[in-house]
A and B are shown apart, each in its own frame.
Chain A
Amino acid sequence: MNNVIYGINGPVITVLGNTGLSMMEMVLVGNDRLVGEVIGISDKETTIQVYENTTGLAPGEQVTGTGGPLSATLGPGILDNIFDGIERPLKAIEAVSGDFISRRVNVSVLDEQREWDVTVCVKTGDQLSEGMVYATCPETQIITHKCMVPPGLSGTVEAVRPDGKYRLNDTVVTLRDEKGVLHDLTLCQKWPIRKPRPTARRLYADAPLVTGQRVIDTLFPVAKGGTAAIPGGFGTGKTMTQHQLAKWCDADIIIYIGCGERGNEMSQVLEEFSGLIDPKSGRPMTDRTALIANTSNMPVAAREASIYTGITLAEYYRDMGYHVAIMADSTSRWAEALREISGRLEEMPAEEGFPAYLPSRLSEFYERAGLFETLSGAAGSVTVIGAVSPQGSDFSEPVTQNTKRFTRCFWALDKSLAYARHYPAINWMSSYSEYLDDLSDWYKKNVGEDFLDCRTRITRILQEESKLMEIVRLIGADVLPDDQKLVIETARVIRVGFLQQNAYHKDDTYVPLKKQLGMMRAILHLHRSARAVLAAGIPISRILELGLFDKLIRMKYEVPNDNYEMLDGYIADIDNALTSLG
């Protein structure tokens, strides 16, 4: 069929007549064969969004269908790589088109020439069903890549190749399906990005994603396979928090999506991650990371696709039985891309110009997170952590509000905390986590029986402080009775010494759970003992003179991560100092 361009409006083009293209089909547009996707069809015209800059495109140029939806290529070589929003490798593009991304660069998604050390783990005659592993290869030094039978395919192994070096598109196993058709299985497969990859069943997520960030692990934990939103105005440290999580969380694989963000930030991630050594494996962080960079000046339609590309990569690694964490920075840019395309299509807008399908798109995305039993019987998870950039720092705007509905963790970043350079600027009063009950058994078993108890008491003190602060703001702190002054002092220790965490300090940037518990115990011990001393009639000024509170504030720097038994010494010091008063 001869389909030619009729209309062009920014990234949206139209083709007249019944084109025979199907919805969401990937098409190649114009003489430069730009990648596009069908987003609307009527009997009169077909609407296509183009993932590249449309300058210079002219009516009458060809539009060719590819017969399939926009798909991601999945295989070894994804990790330690950086892609744009439609999974084109930026390093390869650089080699072809130089420092600036020009159009019409045709590069293969994954390196087709590189040879992988493949171990074939099936033999002739084996029955294979979808999702089963037929070959493995070390993708990086720490991650073993598992080649799985693509979903929807099963059968008997007809032929296998011996172990050895193979390239991406070399056949390693030949499979005969029930109908007798032969399928060549290579090291890679394709999957449409907008469709969740199938799994056997959803599992109950009861283990936390340990991040080493005290305010998150202790106050608002997220489960492996959970969802979390980080909303915050500009300058509140969304990106910084995302970087910290990407660096330190205990997921096996990190997919970092820079969706409509700054170019310099992406180069920082690249530089920082390759220089940073993962303490567990002793290898650079990039060995377990894939980056998707669609900066704000790259084509807007590809920004819309980047989120889906990212989660498809994550699901692929999940199916191998890995725990994957996705950092999406920022989902607001993605929502704005939706709005922009929707505006070009002249759709009826809902709230603030966003299309009416914004909530359903958001929920589709977040629902792809979870802890699953994969088709091959392993357990793997995808944890989604999405940053939200509310317009005008107003949390009542549609993207924040709708994200709140579909995520179970909400880490609200606060402008006034950020102004006071209290980082991470997660507001302890307006944030929440719904995972606490799910995770309580894990914490009891793995950290300490009293972990959740300590947490409750810490939050109670913080809550009490915020009530007292209302009074203090009106009449000053001097008029408060001593026991309330004590609450304010303890809360200060919690805020400055516990919740505030220095990402640039070698010990403080990541704190193990046991040390977090130890710190809480020390703070609560001081609070309890000081209250007893007050009850004995000793004024608080004398307790403050001992400098115990300031000492606890500094303990985060002074106690090394590998020697948190030192914290017991603090408790002894507190006891000694306080008994000296009595």
Chain B
Amino acid sequence: MVIEYMGIKEINGPLIVLDGVKNPSFEETVVIRLENGEERTGRIVKIEGERAVIQVFEGTHGVSLSNTRTRLTGHPVEMPLSSELLGRIFDGAGRPADGLGEIFPEKRRDINGTPINPVSRVYPRNFISTGISSIDCLMTLIRGQKLPIFSGSGMRHNELAAQIVRQAKIADKEAEFAIVFAAMGVKNDVADYFRRSFEESGVLSRVAMFLNFSNDPIIERILTPRCALTAAEYLAFDRGMHILVIMTDMTSYAEALREFSSSKGEIPGRKGYPGYLYSDLASLYERAGMIKGSGGSVTQIPILTMPNDDITHPVPDLTGYITEGQIVLDRTLDNSGIYPPVSVLPSLSRLMKDGIGEGFTRADHADVANQLFACCARVQEARSLASVIGEEELSPNDKKLLEFGRMFDSRFINQGYDESRSIDQTLDLGWELLSALPREELDRIDDKTLEGHYKPADEAPADE
């Protein structure tokens, strides 16, 4: 027999309080039926004896203290799973939203997941070729990695993510590849842009989309990435596929969490975000990886917009501490028309050191990358000097550095939206640019490697 509880005790934003509940369990799902027959879902977020605080995913508009009947379901929020997930579109709470009917589940899993045992993990070292020079050479993406894109409103992060999806796919023909796309609080246009670009590149049937739009209930947004990652884990570790998860926009997710936390009356931490923001973000990002004995992998590319382009804002800051590197986009580059506007110096891939070089990419990869980074740092110094004393007054070496910087931005970083460069092309381009610098500037590379690749400007083929 199912007990239904009539009415509720209190409503506070997205939270309702139910009294006299028999046997509630923590994080259990509840179904709330309104007088007009509408059903809403919620989950128990706090229990004090017979008093349960319930978070309502669809929001509490239209709910009064007396017009509801609430029923406990006895299990936490679960996601139905089967390989049918691919090619489907779901709403933010994991319910089908494309009118194609329910999923016939092979399994149901708690969307919170459980942590991967660190000893069961395989240390990721398989290079994913994205065809984008700046990423492949300087912040190499590795299968099983979580590599976020730090962007700002109005920059072309969506294009970059779509390009990665399109080009990374080509690099892997032998294994099954699929995409899980989670949109949290994004504009309808953005979701539509991704849908179209998946369609154009012919991967739509290999995509599971979870969409929570910016006008959708905010609490649902907290479930969206969890549903998506539960699906991704299932496809990767039960079905052995390589899954690329794109999550956008993590900042809206964190804002939803903040709203929820403040309506619960919790003590806020930095900028009003709850004290557990780090643990909460980690419970999402850490679901990337590879597991021993399973052929699949979950690779994450979360996208977040830095409010006011501030990288020290809590969301990018905490994200950077959890993820294995970051791709930082820069507004100055974006404004000068360079695409993708990747700012090289603050960008990083922590896993690249073990996934590049002989046997993975090319023996000289690490040297080129280190040298390019070092040169970019010096270009920056030269630029700031030039802005004080003027370019004319610079030493010849500094002038060469400035020239190198310009070439680097316009030829190495900048590339077409449809242009895919192989790793060989990228590294050769790197050498070509380095060769424009005097040999003593290249202090990160040993003589032997230099012998083979360094061709000073006069010997190198002329540009264009």
Contact = CB atoms under 8 A, between A and B. Distances in A.
Interface stretch (B59-67, B196-204, B284-292): B284-292
Contact of A101 (B110, B114, B269, B283): B114
Interface in A332-379: 333, 336-337, 339-340, 342-343, 346, 349, 352-353
Given A55-B76, A473-B388, A295 B320 contact: no
A391 B325 CA distance: 16
Nearest to B312: A392
A271 B123 contact: yes
Interface residues of B, number: 85
Interface in A365-415: 389, 391-394
B115 A8 contact: no
A8 B28 contact: no
Given A266-B121, A476-B394, A58 B26 contact: yes
A92 to B, nearest CB: 10
Contacts of B107: none
B114 A235 contact: no
A479 to B, nearest CB: 10
Given A55-B76, A99-B237, A391-B317, A8 B46 contact: yes
B279 A300 contact: yes
B346 A59 contact: no
A90 B115 contact: no
A94 B26 contact: no
Interface stretch (B8-16, B162-170, B332-340, B347-355): B347-355
A496 B351 contact: no
A260 B291 contact: no
Given A91-B119, A99-B117, A478 B286 contact: no
B260 to A, nearest CB: 13
Given A7-B49, A339-B269, A56 B26 contact: yes
A126 interface: no
A565 interface: no
A9 B346 contact: no
Contacts of A54: 26-27
Interface stretch (B84-92, B152-160, B369-377): B369-377
B345 A58 contact: no
B1 interface: no
Contacts of A429: none
Contacts of A296: 278-279, 282-283, 285-286, 322
B24 A391 contact: no
A54 B76 CA distance: 11
Contacts of B35: none
B111 to A, nearest CB: 10
B172 interface: no
A206 B190 CA distance: 63
A336 B286 contact: no
Contacts of A421: 370, 373-374, 377, 444
A67 to B, nearest CB: 26
A543 interface: no
A442 interface: no
A45 to B, nearest CB: 10
B325 A333 contact: no
A343 B46 contact: no
B464 interface: no
Interface string A85-122: 00000110110011111100000000000000000000
Contacts of A55: 26-27, 76, 110, 112
Given A475-B389, A477-B395, A420 B119 contact: no
B324 A264 contact: yes
A341 to B, nearest CB: 9
Nearest to A90: B119
A268 B117 CA distance: 13
Given A268-B354, A343-B266, A353-B267, A235 B346 contact: yes
Nearest to A477: B395
A57 interface: yes
Contact of B294 (A99, A263, A554): A99
A128 B142 CA distance: 57
Contacts of B50: 59
B460 interface: no
B384 interface: yes
A416 B279 CA distance: 28
Contact of B115 (A9, A298, A416): A298
A420 B389 contact: no
Given A54-B26, A60-B23, A550-B440, A300 B276 contact: yes
A416 B377 CA distance: 8
A474 interface: yes
**Max count, chain B CB within 10 A of own CB: residue among A101, A419, A474:** A419
A263 B118 contact: yes
Contacts of A100: 113-117, 120
B116 A336 contact: no
A333 B366 CA distance: 31
Contacts of A53: 112, 114
Interface string A284-312: 00000000010111101000000000000
A354 to B, nearest CB: 9
B417 interface: no
Contact of B47 (A59, A233, A352, A472): A59
B114 A264 contact: no
B388 to A, nearest CB: 6
Nearest to A347: B267
B268 interface: yes
Given A6-B48, A474-B388, A475-B389, A102 B76 contact: no
A76 B3 CA distance: 54
B443 interface: yes
A234 interface: yes
A496 B384 contact: no
Nearest to B21: A59
B202 to A, nearest CB: 31
A270 interface: yes
**Max count, chain B CB within 10 A of own CB: residue among A14, A258, A333, A391:** A391
A58 B75 CA distance: 12
A504 B373 contact: no
A10 interface: yes
A16 B47 CA distance: 13
Contacts of B313: 392
Given A268-B354, A550-B440, A6 B49 contact: yes
A335 B97 CA distance: 42
A8 B267 contact: no
Nearest to A469: B381
Interface in A230-280: 233-235, 258, 260, 262-264, 266-268, 270-271
Nearest to A478: B395
B192 interface: no
A263 B275 contact: no
24 contacts: A7-B48, A10-B276, A55-B110, A94-B117, A97-B117, A100-B117, A101-B115, A101-B116, A264-B124, A264-B145, A264-B351, A293-B119, A340-B279, A342-B275, A343-B275, A349-B267, A353-B269, A391-B270, A391-B312, A392-B312, A393-B317, A504-B353, A553-B443, A554-B446
Given A99-B116, A504-B353, A553-B443, 13 more contacts: A56-B27, A56-B76, A98-B117, A100-B113, A235-B350, A260-B279, A353-B267, A353-B270, A391-B312, A419-B346, A473-B384, A474-B389, A496-B443
Among all A-B residue pairs, the 4 with the closest Cβ atoms: A392-B312, A296-B282, A420-B377, A297-B286
Interface of A: 6-10, 14, 16, 53-60, 82, 90-91, 93-94, 97-102, 233-235, 258, 260, 262-264, 266-268, 270-271, 293, 295-298, 300, 333, 336-337, 339-340, 342-343, 346, 349, 352-353, 389, 391-394, 416, 419-421, 472-478, 496, 504, 550, 553-554, 557
Interface of B: 23-28, 46-50, 76, 110, 112-124, 144-145, 237, 266-270, 274-276, 278-279, 282-283, 285-287, 289, 291-294, 312-314, 317-318, 320-322, 324-326, 345-346, 348, 350-351, 353-354, 366, 370, 373-374, 377-378, 384-385, 388-389, 393-395, 398, 440, 443-444, 446
